[in-house]
Structure formats: structure tokens, C-alpha cells
Amino acid sequence: MNLLLHICCGPCAIYPVAQMLNDGIRISGYFYNPNIHPYREFKQRIQGVQQFSQLTQLEIEIDANYGLTEYLRNVVFHEHERCAICYRMRLEGVARKAKTRGADAFSTTLLYSKYQNHEHIRKMGEEIGEKYQIGFYYQDFRSGWQEGIEKALEMNLYRQAYCGCIYSEQERYDKAFSKIKQTTKKP
């Protein structure tokens, strides 16, 4: 099987890539993440992915266009559902690319993260696969969470402190904001 793998960052790619290669799948990677802000963070994650590519010899296409405008135009006024919008932007991007390349399937390293809505990504991937008439390869890579972290440390890869968008950056660093979020959480 020829598979195009959406790569969100170097550390998240380690475990899924190792698993798929082990299963005999031919992979190439695609970095397409218009959700990552600000610009310096975007560049830093690209460098991490390039480093991962050099270390593993995995071919990875990098979309280096900074997608702030596109991302915000999709999300503004829909902030409460921003993650679903963000998943869709990226999964559709990789499905389209996989289709034009003649790949058999596509997948995403988002399936490795313990912090993403795993079930939502799986369902959306399948739905998008049907829409573009290309298979969505699903595997629950979360079991390799710790292994991926340890390998990322060994490889000295850049490990980000927040998910990617400017909203998640505030959630990570603005203590007052987090406190308000905590106290307004539904029971």
C-alpha cells in the first residue's frame, strides 16, 4: 500500500511511521498545518519535521505557506468548534494531495495524540475518504505515546508546548484565562 501521511510535527510522527513501516506500508509524509501560529512557531515545527526526515530518510513534502489568514477565516465566529474545523482543513488537504499523487490511502499523525479528539478524527477521516474516493488508514497509535516521547528526546527533536493555534497558545500560557475556563466548565 502507498500511503500519504499527514504529519503535524516531528515527535508525533515517530511512532506511527515506525509502526506503518513495520507493517510493510510504503509511506511518504506531508506537512500541511495552516493551524500553527505564530510564524516563528510554524517555522520551528517545520525545522523539526525536516530534522525528522533527515534522521529517518522519510520523504516529506512541506507546505511552507503560513496559513494564518485561511485558518482564521474558517474559525472566526465558530471558535467553539475550532478543532473540528481544524481537523477538516488538514484532513481534506492531505486527502486531496494523496488523490493527486495516486496514493492508495491517507492517514494522519493526529491519531497518535492523547490530547486530540481521537474518535472525531477517525470518523472525519473515513467521511473524507469517501468524499475523495480514497482509503483512510486508521490505527490507534496512542499506545505508543510514551515511546514516541522517549525517541523524540533521543533524537533531540523540537517538542512544542501547545497544540498549534493562537487560541491554544493562550490556553497554555495565560493562567488567568485557564482559571476562568476551569470555573466556567460545565459539570
Give the binding site for ligand SF4 (CB under 6 A).
Answer: 35, 82-83, 86, 163-165, 167-168
CB of 86 to ligand SF4, least distance (A): 3
**Closer Cβ to ligand SF4, 28 or 117, answer by number:** 117
Please list, in sequence order, all residues whose beta carbon lies within 8 angstroms of the beta carbon of residue 110, skipping any fewer than 6 positions away: 6, 8, 12, 87, 90, 116, 121
Residue closer to ligand SF4 by CB (options 80, 186) is: 80
5 or 83: CB nearest ligand SF4: 83
Q: Which is nearer to ligand SF4, 9 or 17 (CB)?
A: 9
Please state the closest distance from residue 77 (CB atom) to ligand SF4, in A.
Answer: 14
| Beta bridge pairs of residue 135 | 105
User: Rounded to whole angstroms, what are the CA distances from 90 to 13, 31, 105, 140, 187?
Assistant: 15, 9, 15, 18, 32
DSSP for 114-179?
Answer: SSS-HHHHHHHHHHHHHHHT-EEP---GGGGHHHHHHHHHHHT----SS-SSHHHHHHHH-HHHHH
Nearest residue (CB) to ligand SF4, 8 versus 27: 8
Q: In angstroms, give the least distance from the CB of 37 to ligand SF4.
A: 8
Minimum distance from residue 167 beta carbon to ligand SF4 (Å):
6
In angstroms, give the least distance from the CB of 120 to ligand SF4.
Answer: 10
Q: How far is CA 137 from CA 12, 13, 29, 69, 100, in A?
A: 16, 15, 14, 30, 17
